[in-house]
Each structure stands twice: as structure tokens, then as C-alpha cells.
Structure 1
Amino acid sequence: MSNTVLITGSSGNLGRATAKFFQRNGWNVVATMRSPDQEQELSALDNVLVTRLDVQDTASISAAVEAGIARFGGIDVLVNNAGYGEYGLLEATPEDKIRSQFEVNVIGLLATTKAVIPHFRARGDGVIINISSIGGKVTFPLGTLYHGSKFAVEGLSEALSYEMAPIGVKVKLVEPGMIKAAPGGGSMSVNDDQSLTEYREFVGKIFAALGPLMDTGSAPELVSEVIFRAATDGTDTLRYIAGPDAEELLAARKAADDVTFLGGIKGQFGL
């Protein structure tokens, strides 16, 4: 019997590539998203169930897990991919957006994981893969909320691995670098306020540098291969770095003290 993976955020760039990669490799795929009625590509693939899951709606999480088990007989791997980046000046960010960043990237991830754990526990097996980021290990300017949420994903995943081990479940972190966005795509929200004149020069420099950085990102297919390896290698490896830019940046962070590394980031952005 084929293995089954449940993936959140499957309508996005990385989630879609990951769903297709698992399907091509003979897996059953529960491809979840907030608006499944608008999905056409994944719905046309064999052994793919497209169903609704909004990480901020616990009823939809439970329904998606139950639908996947009913369709394929079980779930072997959970890929917590749903998420987005809230960027910009903290002073210019409304409180509801601050809360939303953590509700989606952290609380939603925990809620989805919690919904799948009883199934894994009953089976004595399973893999939880949380999509983190190099942004969970290093930071860029204007990323206070996004980096805060991804640092949280790093910590909760590492801690969760202890309690999952006795029930036969592995926890994995995949840390991609920049990922090339699909045309017209991208999961980013930006907050700014032109009246905050003291920040104008700073903000201008950041956005001037961010564009070229985004263009050098890895294809989502490369990252999906790393996710598949994390799901199937059978090891207790916790962290998987995905992309040459991620390898380079994380190596530099490990080798430098705070003053040196942060100084290098400031130099990269012309600060």
C-alpha cells in the first residue's frame, strides 16, 4: 500500500511543488488549502485528494485529517507548509496583523500537528515536517514578525521531537533559503507608513536590496526534493538545509559572532 502525505498550503508555490513531487514518486497526497474549489491542477492528478484546511479553523483541520484517513486508510507524513511573511516597520504594523502572523505560522502549525498526533500515536509511527526557513536561524531588516514566527517554529519543533520519540514519531525541520516566486505569486505582506519620515532612507535601502535577493532564490522543486528526503530517509536528523544560499548563509552565521555577522548583513543592505 502506498504511503500518504498531508500537506498544508498546497495552493502556494512550495506546497504545490511538494504535492506534485510526492505524487510523482508514488505517494497518496492529501493536498489541503483554504479554497479547494479553485484548484484545478492538483485535482486532476491520480491519488491526490484536494480538500479544505485553514490553519486558523480547527474544524477544517480535523475534517481534512479525517478525510485523508478515510480516503487513503491512514497518514504517514504531515508537512506543515502553510505560512506567509509579514514584513515592514513594527511601528507601522496594525495589531491584527501582528497576531495573524503568529496565528498562521505558529498557532496554526501547532493546531494541525496536534490534530494528527493521535493518529500517529495509535500507529506508533509517523513523520512531522515543519517548513521553517533560514529566517528561523538568521534575520533580515524589516522581518521582525516573520523571523520571530520562524524562530518559534525552530524551537517548538526541537522540543516536540523529545516527546514524539517515545511514540515512534520523528520531527523534522526543513530550512529553505529564498524561493523563487511563481509569476504573480508570493506570500508576503508589507507594512509601511510614509508619514514616519525618520525611517524613509532605511526602508528604501532595504527594498532596493531585497529585489535582487529574491531573484536569486532556489526553485521550489529543489526544496520539495529536500522535503521528500526528510520524509523518507528514516533517520533522526532534525534539520535539513535547502538551497545553496541557505547553506552559505547558515555556515557564515555559525562561523561568526553577533557583531561580525550582523555587521555583514547591514553591509549587504547598505545600512
Structure 2
Amino acid sequence: MQKTIFITGASSGLGKSTAKLFQSKGWRVIATMRNPNKETELNQLKDVVVLPLDVTDEKQIIATINEVTSKYEIDVVMNNAGYGLIGVLESLDDEMIQRQISTNLLSVIRISKGFVSHFRERGTGTFVNITSTFGLIGFPTCSIYSATKFAIDGFSESMAYELAQFGIQVKVIAPGGMQTDFASRSMEVGQHEAYEKLSAEVSKGYSAEKVAQYTKVEDVAEIVYNATTDNTSQFRYIAGNDAIGLYNERTTIGAEKQVQNIKSMFAFN
């Protein structure tokens, strides 16, 4: 029987790559995005249904979930939509902060809540929530972004406990850097003159040379596919060599020592 995955943020990057991979494996894909009228690739593929969805619109979330669950049995929900808000806290206004939280965190909570009863009544289903290395480890200029990703990690772990009794899995994919246009397409940046030296140092990680060394988005999509089909109860998947290195460092030397190491990198004494 054909399986179905529901994906948010499928217009580009990891969302689109994952949609294409699952389609190639014979799955039906519900690919959602804010502006489906601009999509020229996924809507040409067999068994891909492209739907409009602004993940900050609670009413549209509810209507979309009701629509798809009335037509299909959903096996996997991939909460992928999001963007990066980069900048020291003093550089971010309240509107920027609220927009980040609404897009990256509240959408995951609302979409998950919307699908829980569907999964519970079927006695099966998997949530795959995309977090980040910076959902496990803090980093300068990423305070609000990290706040949303740390929150998704904790939300997902708590939900995994709640839903296990109903045969529902919750899994987290925590990628490091990926070879996408995320830095130019899905990033909002705040600037503050008091932190120019810090911002300049951090921005080196977003250079074209650095991005070229990151993990290919197709490889992360493979990790998503494996996580949904490996028939294990594994909760967290670290994706990419840089992410694995940082995570292993934290588990080896401990969080406190790693915090001190990162502080020393940006002490500028």
C-alpha cells in the first residue's frame, strides 16, 4: 500500500529535496509551501500534491490538515518550514522575534497537534521535526533561532513519551550546515555596531567557501528517509560531519566545557 508524507516548507532546500526523494521511492507526497504558484518542478511529478500553506496562519493550518486527512491516510508529517534569524539580541526588534517564534516553533506545535488525532485513531504515524545543531548547542548571534530549535527538541522529546502508547513515533533531525542558499534565501539579519567584530567573525561561517564544505542537502534528505523507514525507536539523528563533530564534543567533554571553549573563541581579549 502506498504511503503518504506531508511536508511543510517544500518549495526549496531540504523540503524540496526530501519531497523528490520520497516521490522517487514510490510515496505520495503532500508538498506544502506559501506560494505554490511559483513551483515549477514538484507539480510536474507523479503522486506529488502541491498545496498552499503559510505555517504562521493558524486557520489555514487547520483547514489544510482537515482537507488532506479527509482524502488521505498520512503516514509521516515532516515539520520542516523555517528560517534563520541571525543577529545579537540587541539588534532584533520585537516583530522580528515574534515572526521567528511563530514560523519556527508555533507552526511545529500547531501542525503536530492537528495531526495527532489522525495518527492516534490509526494507531500509527511518525512526526519528523527538523531542528538544527543550534538546537543542541548555543552559538553567538543565534539566540532566538536557537531558542526555537532548542524548544522543538524539547517539545519533540516530550511528545515522543506522550504518543508512544498509541504507536506514534516522534523523531528529530538535527542538521549542521547544508549546501543550500539558506543564507541568502531563508535568513533575516540584525545588525548592531557594538557587536561588529563578533558579527564579522561569525559571518565567516556563511561564506561561499565555507558553505561548499557543508553537507549536501540530498544527503540530509536521505537521513530523513532512513529515519522514517529504519523501523527503530531512535529519537535523534545528527546530520552532517560538522554537526556530528560538535555533538560528539559536547557528549565527550560535557556541555560546560564546550560552553567555555566557544566563549574563548569570541573573547577578543
Q: Report the TM-score, using the length of structure 2 for normalisation.
A: 0.93
For 2:213, the aligned partner's letter is T
1:15 maps onto 2:15 in alignment: yes
1:191 maps onto 2:182 in alignment: no
Structure 2 partner of 1:125: 124
Structure 2 partner of 1:145: 144
1:238–1:184 distance in 2 versus 1, CA, 3 Å: closer
Aligned equivalent of 2:242, options 238, 241, 245: 245
Q: Give the distance between the partners of 1:17 and 1:31, measured in 2 at CA.
A: 11
User: Matched residue of 1:74: which SS?
Assistant: coil
137-146 vs 44-53, which moves further: 137-146
List per-residue Cα deviations over 1:75-133 (Å, max 9, x = no partner): 00000000111110211111011111111111111101111111111111100010011
User: Is contact 1:86-1:145 (8 Å) kept?
Assistant: yes
In structure 1, runs of 5+ residues without a counterpart are none
User: Is contact 1:209-1:269 (8 Å) kept?
Assistant: no
For 2:259, the aligned partner's letter is L
Structure 1 partner of 2:180: 181
For 1:246, the aligned partner's letter is A
Structure 2 partner of 1:33: 33
Identical positions, percent: 37
43-52 vs 211-220, which moves further: 211-220
- Count how many residue pairs are aligned between Structure 1 and Structure 2: 267
1:22–1:209 distance in 2 versus 1, CA, 3 Å: closer
Structure 2 partner of 1:24: 24
User: Matched residue of 2:137: which SS?
Assistant: coil
179-188 vs 103-112, which moves further: 179-188
For 1:190, the aligned partner's letter is V
1:183–1:177 distance in 2 versus 1, CA, 3 Å: closer
1:264 maps onto 2:261 in alignment: yes
1:58–1:262 distance in 2 versus 1, CA, 3 Å: same
1:1-271 counterparts in 2 under 5 A? Answer: 1-71=1-71, 73-182=72-181, 185-193=184-192, 196=193, 198-211=194-207, 212-266=209-263, 271=268
For 2:128, the aligned partner's letter is I
CA RMSD, Structure 1 to Structure 2 (Å): 1.9
247-256 vs 147-156, which moves further: 247-256
Q: Give the distance between the partners of 2:69 and 2:152, measured in 1 at CA.
A: 26
In the TM superposition, residue 270 of structure 1 has moved relative to its aligned partner by: 7.5
User: Is contact 1:13-1:185 (8 Å) kept?
Assistant: no
1:58–1:167 distance in 2 versus 1, CA, 3 Å: same
1:143–1:224 distance in 2 versus 1, CA, 3 Å: same
Q: Give the distance between the partners of 2:254 and 2:117, measured in 1 at CA.
A: 42
In the TM superposition, residue 258 of structure 1 has moved relative to its aligned partner by: 4.2
List per-residue Cα deviations over 1:32-89 (Å, max 9, x = no partner): 0011111110000000000011111122223322343355x31000000001111102
